[in-house]
Structure 1
Amino acid sequence: MKAPSWFLPSLDAKDRKLLLWAVGVAIVLAVATGLLLPNSDENDNGPPSTYLSGKHGALAAYELLERAGYPVERWERPLSELAAEAGPQTVVIFAQPFTREAEDMKAVRDILEKGGRVLATGFWGGSLLPGQNAAPGSTFSFTACKLQPQGLDPLAGSGEVWMIPEATWQVGNPGVRVQYDCAGAPAVIEYEWGAGHVVWWASSMPLENGSLTRAQNLNLFLNSIGPSAGKHFYWDESLHGEIRSTWSYAGGLPLHMLQIGLAVLAVLVLFSFSRRSGPVRELPPPVRATPIEFLEALGSLYKSAGAASTAVSVAWERFRRHALWLCGRHMQRMDAAEVAGVVRRRFPQADEALEADLLACEAAIGNEALHPKEALRLVQLLAGHAAKLDAMTRRGSGVSGMGGVRLDGASG
């Protein structure tokens, strides 16, 4: 396949050819994936959404309410907006919601305090309710349990109900009434909160498409939401993690494969363009540090290494060589006492503390526990003695001659 010259003319011909091949392969893979791979299983465990027609969806229950004349609508906006317009006529259905937001819990509380009615299912549905006494089920079962009626309210008279409980309710409040249980664990409860009414199920199974018509599950659902007269029903979809739109129906595996292909294509384009592209001009030379910056960096290095004695050692060696050079003995190796003696003989007027300072500097060498302030003091003392010796040398005062030769180089 020959790449046309008008397509990305800034690229090399081989790069354009590679790019076209990559685009072609990505398109072929996306089409093949969409045609050959099967659709996702609608019976997978998912949220009981009113948009899903699989056995775990809730489309049948929602359409049943519509056909029965219930004023029902899906709610996909934030719950705080629903709480703001809620009232005694409001009924909200939370089928397996998922949220940990405090503002959602506050919105449910506000709906109830305004006299609304709430039906919530599952562990997270119980956590959304005031009191938050829902707890994970103590046992796991993959078979439906025939619930046993326990209460005296009309809800407990719904009839035979089947459910696979996913949670339970920790009963401790006398106002909470258990209407059905499974093996002694509460499965359906109701209670009053403020001016509102709460119904909680341990699972959303009775309202799901695959279980709605089993036994008297439909009666339980209708009794839980109450009569339709004077009420407005909202089926919450905002806490199912999806907001339906026209583009929602274009999603799925083909769209994911197309996104992956576009990402791979972008990497190939970047690689093909950048592998032959270098800087268009030379990089500027690095800025050399000023002397004071060098000294600060050197000081930071000594400080981080804890090498205060090393700084004294360097200063002492420099002073020793300089002092012996002034005394004409620069080729000899001497300790602090010997250096002090030589300097004292050549410079009788040297500082009285010379000997003590040189011995202190020599003792500090190798002392790893030397404090930085003490090291600085010793270095400054050595610098001061060196400056005084240089000054006496320039003046020619306080210098004892040896062999008729003066330190300034003149003959005596």
Structure 2
Amino acid sequence: MAARGRHSETRRGRRSGRLREMKQRLFIVLALLVLGLLMVGLNAVSYVQQVREPDQEAAPIRSSYHPGATGTKAFYTLLAETGREVTRWQRPPAELITEYRNPPSTLVMIGPFRREVSEEDASMILSWVESGGRLVIIDRLPPRQLLTTSLSWTLEAKYGTEAGILSVDPANPAQMTAATPAYRPNLPSLLTRGVNAIQPSRFASTVEATRIKPPSIDAETYEGETYQAPANTGTGGDSGSSYGPPPSPTQTPFDFYDAGTGQGTGVGQPSPPPAAAPPPPVAAETPQAGEPDQTTEPPPDDAKTWFVAPFVHFTASGRAFALDFPYGEGEIVYVGDPYIVANGGITAADNAQFAVNLAAARQGLIAFNEYHHGYGEGNNRVFEYFAGTPVVAILLQVVVLGLFVIYSQSRRFARPVPAPDPDRLSKLEYVGAMAELQQRTRAFDLAMENIYADFRRRVARHFGVDNTATSRKELAAMIGERTDRDAGEVGKLMERCEDIVHGDPTDKREVLKITAELRELEDALRLSRTGRRRV
């Protein structure tokens, strides 16, 4: 009886210890939850939404993500909703060359850029263009490394006026286009299809194209020539908004193909006097058999590009405003004013049609360069998504709180105590030791108490009844009904078990017999004794 009492006290002590530990953990969890809710509430109350400042033409944001007046989101959306395949390129330019799954055929770069176009970036972009890509640059001050051609021409951007750029409202078309007429196309082309006129801003830039001497032409017969727009081909600041009168018979337009003398005839210059009559032809000598014919010689490769020039679609003030020129196997298109494709100016005149022609002149994927606008690699996407919200501050505070909890749990807060001695006995060793102790002390009642209590608990759980509220007679009737055995015999077996537990004399043989009968009843009820799977 004393051993049984000590065993009960041990179990009660363990149960109370577990309850105490569970209460402590519950308190910690609730405290952390309340603290987290308090932090979220404080951040929500103290958060002040930043007022978005209006766009400024002096510091525009030309990203296709930006919905403001200086952004190009309307241009991107227009292409997407009209069935063009369009995407935002947020990777380094080097991957333009290595992209094989869905390579872009046209790259649209609208400046100015937040991320500088380095020499390496420009080299990668030009390598992509040289292999057959199409680059569209829309910027007032384009990167000079990209404004280049494989022809015998040099291109130099000429920035327009900056007067009033700090005070102008980019969302006000009247202010942006004050005293600036619309530009009409020079000649019909793929980029001017369906375009009657485009309306740039008063800050538009132009390009000065100058032909250079190839090595195959004698320097004594060459003088550098600069492109001059014909007086009747554009409607820039000097020519008005309509076509001028036709040129007089003594005037000839600029001749891009006058490579024989290197002396192009510009607008307003008198025509050269007629050449003298050529001398009578002389009969050519017939070459002897076996001798090569040396009367003709193919022109050198560098002279072939002399007969090709950039194609100017729009002009302004005698210079090119929109032009395209080849580079290797590809093509570069330049437009001198992003206002034409910006949200605030794309609806003016035929700007929308011209913008679509710029991007969709070639079939394939159209990629908007967002990498140089600050998106893509090098930025944290999570912080980029939650920028301007209190979520970032909340996440940082949660991280700090977690580090504080880890530090407090690992820090000693009381006197050092010796570590408890580990239990070096396994459960089987404990069971074997207890069985040997009960056998030596002939404590059959304690063994029967453990066996019968476990049997009764398992049977009650099997039938779904309360072990403490169900009588022995009711439980025996349930067992007899389920196993087709006499309920009275089952009741007597259970009564004998309880008598032994309460102190009736017994011996080893009887305890073994009763235990075997209880195991038979468990098998009949299909009470599995398989150990629980530990997770």
TM-score normalised to structure 2 length: 0.40
Larger Rg computed on CA atoms: 2
- Relative CO higher for 1 or 2, CA cutoff 8 Å, sep ≥ 6? 2
Q: Which has the higher helix share?
A: 1
TM-score normalised to structure 1 length: 0.50
